[in-house]
Amino acid sequence: MTDVYHDQPEPAASASGQEARATPVSDEETLSVEMKPQAASAAQEEGQALAAEEGAASSARPAEAAEQPGESGAATTATDLEGRRRPLEYAATPEHLLARQPQPPLDVESLAVRERLSRLRTDVMTLLTDLRWGVLSVEEAARRLVPLLDFSPLPQWAPVVTAHLYEIDRAGSLIPVWQALIARGDPGNQEMETPLGKARRLAVLMLGSYKDSELTILLGRLALDPHLSLYASQALLRQNTLLARQTLMRAVKEAEGWARIDLIEACLKLKQPGFFDLLLALGLEGIPGLEAYVAPSLYRAIPLEAYLDPPPEVTLPSRLIQHAALVCYYVCLESIRSASTQPEQPSLVFEHELLPLAQALFASARRYGGWPQVVALHQLALLLGRYWSGIVRSLIREPRIIQSVTSCLPLVPEIERWMNGPARDILLAALHDRDEQAWSPVVRTLLDLREPRLCAPLLASLERANRLESAEEAQRLGLACEALAALGERRALDVFRRLLIEVVVLSERTAQAQRADPLPPENERVPGSILAVAVLRSLALLEARECLDLVVQACHDFDPVVREAAFMALMRLDASGEQWSSRMAMREALSDPAPAVAAFACRLAAQYRDRESVPALRYLLQSRPSVREAAAAALAQLEQAVA
């Protein structure tokens, strides 16, 4: 195996690619995704029964109740429509990342936990009695419940708390209270750690304890909100009715971002093979930038070999074949990372038998010639190289890993020959087709392979750029800049200069007042900042001293993220401070409102051995605690240099 299969590229966006043969039919021709002709399975028959049940349930209540439920019906939040107009791929990200962290099980036998649950039972029973006797209104009961449900961390407490609450209220007398809590909403619908936020999430989980059609419809609406989808999908699973299952499947098609990920994971827990086609088709769409989070669930539940290399008599939509390959791509990426930190621990990729998967992926790449199969095969080869290197050095002794890796080694020479021939042409063709979704994984793969023909399409894409329409476009252009710099392509310097002057419009940005905090994600200037940072990093990597004037100018940008990248480039392009403009930019940055930029200026003052900066550094030492450590280190280095 060549040295390239010891590299580790970064994750990329998902996509759908191209194929060379006519076996997979197009998605337009196949509107309903199905795996085999005999796939009129029990799950599909159940879907028809679900539709009939929902029709009966909806006809049994007034039409307006389904859309505008009252106090006893399905209540919805005021942000249902507004929230879906926001960039949902980023909404609720901290909450979902926290939920994916391993949590130790709650010790329900400990004295503190038992006392807390006992107080909860007493307080809720008192509240329930007052509610039944009319002493409390629904709104007042909801208000009094908020402090009672303030449990942290919520993922650890939620199963125990909801079980206790259901024991108290099996009759469902608190259902209107749970609906009132949900309808109250969070400030900005983002504050999970507020008492109200935790109470709302527990209220959503509680609705899953009652098998009521109106509550199922409500949970279906809540499942589209990325801030509540994690809990609404669990509640629908807990209901476990025909209508709840159909609601889950319908919500998957409508949801975006984290909401779609939560719903797909919930649907996979149903373990219905008849749903696998639909979940695989939708699993990597509508979640830009989050594909790596849903891929492990799809990998564990779905037999991907059947989709990668189906029998000749089976005709599959091309989207299914491509998505199966991309699932392998993201799983291999994650497994490479875990191999770096925990080489003895079997990573995610070993949860399936590796040899059949590798054979199916290689056969799919040669049979269909799609770029998703090529990038996945490349990552698999990198993974095998990483583990084999640890095995031959006796760093890995886990029998499961050794057996899986060694069984795949006979395939590696043939994979390597194919990757050095037809695979590169497939990837280059995908770049020339200007497939935006293919851009990142294809560029990174060709960069790993050190393909010299990569420079031409990258330069062409940068030359075509005139204005930035979105952050995604800026990221694509930024990746092109950094790839050209990594390949040492100095012909790109003129293009980099034009990008900073004409596309980013650096002169306008430096005329604005400097900010202390980074721009919010929705700001219209964010794409320019993304591209500016990428160009500055590329200039530093190429050691382009002829562009030092632009780097110094970027040191005065209004965005602290750009200023920080500019000073990082300055430390490399003018390491000794020979240029007067570099020293002046450094001295001015000592009073920068952003602590990170001021800290970089302190480091640069020590690197330049600039004794005229000593008074400013001493002032920082006394007046700005956030920069005190950097200022002290710079002063110590300057004093040592003078001595």
pLDDT of 71 reads 33
CB 152 within 8 A of CB 193: yes
Residue in the block written with tokens 């550094």: 617
Give the pLDDT mean for 261-277.
Answer: 94
Listed in sequence order, the residues at least 6 apart from 467 whose beta carbon sits closer than 8 Å to its beta carbon are: 503
Q: Is residue 351 pLDDT above 50, yes or no?
A: yes
Helix and strand counts by DSSP (H, E) for the chain:
34, 0
Report d(CA 133, CA 121) in Å as an integer. Answer: 18
Long-range Cβ pairs for the range 420-424 (8 Å, 24+): 420/449, 422/366, 422/369, 423/365, 423/374, 423/377, 423/378, 424/449, 424/451, 424/453
Amino acid at 625: P
CA 108, chain centre distance (Å): 33
CB atoms under 10 Å from CB of 82, counted, come to 10
Full 3-state SS string of 592-609: CCCHHHHHHHHHHHHHHC
Q: Is residue 144 pLDDT above 90, yes or no?
A: yes
Sign of CA dihedral 610, 615, 617, 618: positive
> DSSP of 238-277, one letter per residue?
HH--HHHHHHHHHHHHH--HHHHHHHHHHHHTT--GGGHH
Give the pLDDT mean for 321-337.
Answer: 95
Q: Residue 50 half-sphere exposure, CB side, CA atoms within 13 Å?
A: 18
pLDDT of 496 reads 96
pLDDT of 7 reads 39
Report d(CA 536, CA 504) in Å as an integer. Answer: 12
Give the pLDDT mean for 241-269.
Answer: 94
Give the pLDDT mean for 571-592.
Answer: 93
The three-class DSSP label of residue 317 is strand
pLDDT of 433 reads 83
Q: Residue 372 half-sphere exposure, CB side, CA atoms within 13 Å?
A: 25
- Please give the share of the chain, as a percent, with pLDDT higher than 90: 68
> What single DSSP character describes residue 575?
T
The token duo for 365 is 């790449």
pLDDT of 345 reads 84
pLDDT of 34 reads 34
The three-class DSSP label of residue 90 is coil
Residue 141 vs residues 124, 146, 174, 203: alpha-carbon distances, Å? 10, 9, 9, 13
* pLDDT tens per residue, range 70-128: 333 333 332 332 333 344 445 677 888 888 887 788 888 999 999 999 999 999 999 99
CB 174 within 8 A of CB 130: no
Report d(CA 471, CA 221) in Å as an integer. Answer: 29
Q: Is residue 187 pLDDT above 60, yes or no?
A: no
Report d(CA 390, CA 289) in Å as an integer. Answer: 31
pLDDT of 75 reads 32
* pLDDT tens per residue, range 189-206: 446 678 898 999 999 999
Give the pLDDT mean for 282-289.
Answer: 88
CA 56, chain centre distance (Å): 39
pLDDT of 191 reads 65
Report d(CA 356, CA 489) in Å as an integer. Answer: 40
CB 561 within 8 A of CB 550: no
pLDDT of 288 reads 84
The C-alpha torsion from 598 through 601 and 606 to 610, rounded to 10°, is -120
Report d(CA 585, CA 580) in Å as an integer. Answer: 9
188 vs 374: which has the higher pLDDT = 374
CB 386 within 8 A of CB 336: yes
Report d(CA 436, CA 443) in Å as an integer. Answer: 11
Task: Look at residues 174, 250, 261 and name the one whose alpha carbon lies nearest to residue 216.
Answer: 250
CB 485 within 8 A of CB 544: no
Full 3-state SS string of 514-538: CCCCCCCCCCCCHHHHHHHHHHHHH
The token duo for 590 is 């000592």
Residue in the block written with tokens 């087709």: 433
Determine if the peptide bond prior to 288 is cis (ω within 30°). Answer: no
Within 342-435, where are the H helices? 354-368, 371-392, 399-408, 412-419, 422-432
Residue 9 vs residues 217, 479, 482, 562: alpha-carbon distances, Å? 43, 12, 13, 24
* pLDDT tens per residue, range 207-223: 999 999 999 999 999 99
The token duo for 491 is 């012909």
* pLDDT tens per residue, range 526-555: 999 999 999 999 999 999 999 999 999 999
Task: Look at residues 517, 579, 520 and name the one whose alpha carbon lies nearest to residue 551.
Answer: 579
Q: What is the mean pLDDT of the chain?
A: 84
* pLDDT tens per residue, range 603-626: 999 999 989 999 999 999 889 999
Task: Look at residues 459, 464, 501, 453 and name the one whose alpha carbon lies nearest to residue 480.
Answer: 459
pLDDT of 56 reads 35
Report d(CA 118, CA 377) in Å as an integer. Answer: 56
Q: Is residue 251 pLDDT above 50, yes or no?
A: yes
Q: Is residue 31 pLDDT above 60, yes or no?
A: no
* pLDDT tens per residue, range 413-470: 999 999 999 999 999 999 988 778 899 999 999 999 999 999 999 999 999 999 898 9
Q: Is residue 350 pLDDT above 60, yes or no?
A: yes
CB 326 within 8 A of CB 372: yes
388 vs 68: which has the higher pLDDT = 388
CB 128 within 8 A of CB 142: no
Listed in sequence order, the residues at least 6 apart from 550 whose beta carbon sits closer than 8 Å to its beta carbon are: 497, 500, 501, 506, 539
The token duo for 528 is 């320019």
Q: How confident is the model at residue 299 (pLDDT cuts 50, 70, 90)?
A: very high
Give the pLDDT mean for 166-171.
Answer: 93
Q: How confident is the model at residue 395 (pLDDT cuts 50, 70, 90)?
A: confident
Residue 513 vs residues 256, 468, 557: alpha-carbon distances, Å? 37, 22, 8
> DSSP of 99-120, one letter per residue?
HTS--PPP-TTSHHHHHHHHHH
* pLDDT tens per residue, range 477-521: 999 999 999 999 999 999 999 999 999 999 999 999 999 999 988
